[in-house]
């Protein structure tokens, strides 16, 4: 029976290590494990060359190799006779393999130490099943679990529904929340997140998550770091199955680097995003033309959860989501332009404010110091926000107001946990962070937005605000174009909902937002600006 390589797809996911035997011209055989065999086409496979090792030296002399592949679930085996053809050091195959290795190198702190030297392409001369490798299966003990029905019809229907939701979404928050919900409910991607790029800081910030509870919002990833940062840097989808296997291999190399006295070349390990025990991850860039908007990530504890088909239709969905984000951002900015056009004085003030030219654009770094274990890099670590409560150099007197009786009554009728009667907000101008009741809340532009809004509520009793006035406010220092204001407001709303539900920012139509307060609040400013 002819065996098609395509039918062995699970063996090419890098979950079960393969064996390779080679032989030099001196007649000495060599045998070792391979972390992954890459499927190229029906008659070719590729092996990664990270070190110019004995295997590679042997095939340079004698091009023949034998590889044994194993099915990662059933452990059935196949024997491939190969002939080495060429080493590729550039091109699509090399790039695909290189970015995957870069992800592992980054997560294990070995960027630049552990990298792809070449993609070695082999012709597949023959494929045969390893007969007799396994004892007969026990019909009960070895029965495979029934898989959920899936396939093109299910997924095309999912794509259709998600596409409709994206098209109908009226704001960015609904768009992303609906898209991730549909990925879960219709297609079974129960852990997903969208991170958007802050072009000012070259960081990605988690703006929507599904499957992590309320955690994870605001988590940050620098471009080039780990799976998500690497996907953003290369603008290329990456799928990693058997993450645990890959990381173990990376850590083995890291251990050898340390033993060889070269530990100073290593960086700290980067925790996996999201699930600390994820086995399969797929991340893809969200692009509008050549412009990177963010990254969509799905992950699973099942190492075989994602395959090429998932890549294909998630790419379609990713493009839909990216177009939706781009549309929302354009609409948001257009609305700002219309507002400004109807208020020429304000427009002049905005374009003419000294800060827009002389002051660097504010970075979009809503921190997440309290996200899922082993997840995105907490931005607070760099900015020192987490240590802020220790400071006690209060420089401004606090301001305090109590909620109106109507608001207090409304709070009582909500039917949820009784709100706290008092909330104390402390702003640290030094790192532009806000703590609420000594717990970190948010920092940078979203923090300044909140501070401005709370201040006007305290001083003037205002509860209605417009995007336009925020854009014009020199205290916030928003960049003149692509200010990501809507994203920053979403982040602020979600952080408030998680940390201080008595204070809410609600949408009051396009370009307008309202403040709802159900407790007395106190505002303090500490530390030197």
Partner 1 sequence: MIPTDLHDYIESGVSILIGTRSDRLLPECCRGLGARVENGGSELTVFVPAATACHTLVNLRANGRVAVCFARAADHRSVQVKGQVLAIEDATDEDRPVVLRYRIALAEAWGVIGIPPRITLRMTHWPCQAIRLRVDALFNQTPGPGAGAALAAPASSVSG
Cβ atoms of 429 and 529 within 8 Å: the answer is yes
Cβ atoms of 72 and 144 within 8 Å: the answer is no
The yes or no reply on residue 255 touching partner 1 (CB under 8 A) is yes
User: Rounded CA gap, 275 and 261, in Å?
Assistant: 33
The yes or no reply on residue 166 touching partner 1 (CB under 8 A) is no
The yes or no reply on residue 129 touching partner 1 (CB under 8 A) is no
Site for partner 1 in 46-105 (CB under 8 A): 50-51, 53-54, 62, 64-66, 68, 73-75, 81
- Structure tokens given for 286: 């969200």
CB atoms within 10 A of CB 267: 14
Site for partner 1 in 400-459 (CB under 8 A): none
Candidates 257, 361, 385, 454: give the one binding partner 1 (CB under 8 A): 257
- Structure tokens given for 466: 């417009």
The yes or no reply on residue 509 touching partner 1 (CB under 8 A) is no
CB of 8 to partner 1, least distance (A): 17
The yes or no reply on residue 256 touching partner 1 (CB under 8 A) is yes
DSSP letters along 475-522, please? TT---SS---HHHHHHHHHHHHHHH-TTEEEEE-STTEEEEEE-SEEE
φ/ψ of residue 249, rounded to 5: -65, -45
Query: Given the complex with partner 1, which of 251 and 422 has the nearer CB atom?
Result: 251
Cβ atoms of 12 and 35 within 8 Å: the answer is no
CB of 303 to partner 1, least distance (A): 8
CB of 27 to partner 1, least distance (A): 6
Sign (positive/negative) of CA torsion 197, 200, 201, 202? positive
Site for partner 1 in 228-247 (CB under 8 A): 244-245
Cβ atoms of 253 and 116 within 8 Å: the answer is no
Candidates 90, 185, 262, 439: give the one binding partner 1 (CB under 8 A): 262
Cβ atoms of 187 and 154 within 8 Å: the answer is yes
φ/ψ of residue 397, rounded to 5: -70, 150
CB of 61 to partner 1, least distance (A): 9
Choices 194-202, 254-262, 400-408, 514-522 (CB under 8 A): range interacting with partner 1: 254-262
Binding footprint of partner 1, residue count (CB under 8 A): 52
Cβ atoms of 506 and 494 within 8 Å: the answer is no
Q: Which helix (H) or strand (E) holds 26?
A: none
The yes or no reply on residue 21 touching partner 1 (CB under 8 A) is yes
The yes or no reply on residue 19 touching partner 1 (CB under 8 A) is yes
The yes or no reply on residue 353 touching partner 1 (CB under 8 A) is no
Query: Given the complex with partner 1, which of 23 and 287 has the nearer CB atom?
Result: 23
> For residue 252, what is the DSSP state?
H
Torsion region of 458: left, alpha or beta (phi above 0 gives left; psi -120 to 50 gives alpha)? alpha
Choices 3-11, 30-38, 181-189, 465-473 (CB under 8 A): range interacting with partner 1: 30-38
User: Rounded CA gap, 366 and 205, in Å?
Assistant: 7
The yes or no reply on residue 472 touching partner 1 (CB under 8 A) is no
Site for partner 1 in 287-346 (CB under 8 A): 303
Where does residue 463 rank: exposed (0-12), middle (13-18), buried (19+ CB within 10 A)? middle
Query: Given the complex with partner 1, which of 137 and 156 has the nearer CB atom?
Result: 137
Candidates 1, 2, 4, 33: give the one binding partner 1 (CB under 8 A): 33
User: Rounded CA gap, 115 and 246, in Å?
Assistant: 13
The yes or no reply on residue 13 touching partner 1 (CB under 8 A) is no
CB of 97 to partner 1, least distance (A): 16
Candidates 22, 111, 230, 300: give the one binding partner 1 (CB under 8 A): 22
Query: Given the complex with partner 1, which of 265 and 504 has the nearer CB atom?
Result: 265
CB of 391 to partner 1, least distance (A): 44
**Which residues contact partner 1 by CB under 8 A?**
16, 19-23, 25, 27-33, 50-51, 53-54, 62, 64-66, 68, 73-75, 81, 114, 130-135, 137, 141-142, 244-245, 248-249, 251-257, 259-260, 262, 303
């Amino acid at each position: 029976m002819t065996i098609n390589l395509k039918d062995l797809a699970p063996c090419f996911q890098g979950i079960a290590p393969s064996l390779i035997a080679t032989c030099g011209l001196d007649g000495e055989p060599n045998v070792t494990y391979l972390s992954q065999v890459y499927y190229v086409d029906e008659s070719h496979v590729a092996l990664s060359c990270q070190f110019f090792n004995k295997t590679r030296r042997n095939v340079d002399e004698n091009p023949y190799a034998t590889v044994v592949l194993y099915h990662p679930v059933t452990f059935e085996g196949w024997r491939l006779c190969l002939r080495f053809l060429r080493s590729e050091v550039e091109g699509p195959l090399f790039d695909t393999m290189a970015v995957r290795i870069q992800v592992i190198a980054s997560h294990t702190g070995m960027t630049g130490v552990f990298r792809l030297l070449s993609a070695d392409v082999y012709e597949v001369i023959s494929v045969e099943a390893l007969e007799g490798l396994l004892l007969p299966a026990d019909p009960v003990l070895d029965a495979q679990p029934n898989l959920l029905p899936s396939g093109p019809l299910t997924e095309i229907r999912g794509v259709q529904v998600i596409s409709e939701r994206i098209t109908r979404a009226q704001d960015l928050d609904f768009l992303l929340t609906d898209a991730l919900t549909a990925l879960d409910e219709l297609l079974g991607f129960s852990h997903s997140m969208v991170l958007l790029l802050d072009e000012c800081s070259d960081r990605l910030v988690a703006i929507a998550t599904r499957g992590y509870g309320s955690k994870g919002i605001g988590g940050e990833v620098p471009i080039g770091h780990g799976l998500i940062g690497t996907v953003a840097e290369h603008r290329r989808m990456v799928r990693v199955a058997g993450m645990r296997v890959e990381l173990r291999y990376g850590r083995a190399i890291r251990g050898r680097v340390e033993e060889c006295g070269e530990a100073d070349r290593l960086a700290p390990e980067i925790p996996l995003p999201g699930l600390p025990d994820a086995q399969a991850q797929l991340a893809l860039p969200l692009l509008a033309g050549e412009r990177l908007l963010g990254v969509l990530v799905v992950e699973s504890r099942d190492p075989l959860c994602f395959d090429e088909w998932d890549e294909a239709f998630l790419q379609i969905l990713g493009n839909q989501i990216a177009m939706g984000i781009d549309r929302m951002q354009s609409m948001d900015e257009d609305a700002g332009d219309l507002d400004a056009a109807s208020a020429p004085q304000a427009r002049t003030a905005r374009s003419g404010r000294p800060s827009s030219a002389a002051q660097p654009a504010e970075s979009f770094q809503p921190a997440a110091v309290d996200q899922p274990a082993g997840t995105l890099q907490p931005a607070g670590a760099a900015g020192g926000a987490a240590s802020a409560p220790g400071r006690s150099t209060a420089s401004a007197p606090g301001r305090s107001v109590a909620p109106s009786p109507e608001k207090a009554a409304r709070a009582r009728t909500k039917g949820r946990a009784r709100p706290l009667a008092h909330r104390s907000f402390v702003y640290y101008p030094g790192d532009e962070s806000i703590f609420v009741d000594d717990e970190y809340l948010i920092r940078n532009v979203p923090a300044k937005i909140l501070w401005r809004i709370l201040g006007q509520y305290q001083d003037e009793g205002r509860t209605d605000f417009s995007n336009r006035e925020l854009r014009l406010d020199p205290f916030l220092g928003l960049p003149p174009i692509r200010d990501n204001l809507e994203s920053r407001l979403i982040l602020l709303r979600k952080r408030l909902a998680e940390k201080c539900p008595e204070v809410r920012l609600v949408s009051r139509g396009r370009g307008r937002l309202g403040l709802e307060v159900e407790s007395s609040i106190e505002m303090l400013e500490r530390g030197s600006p």
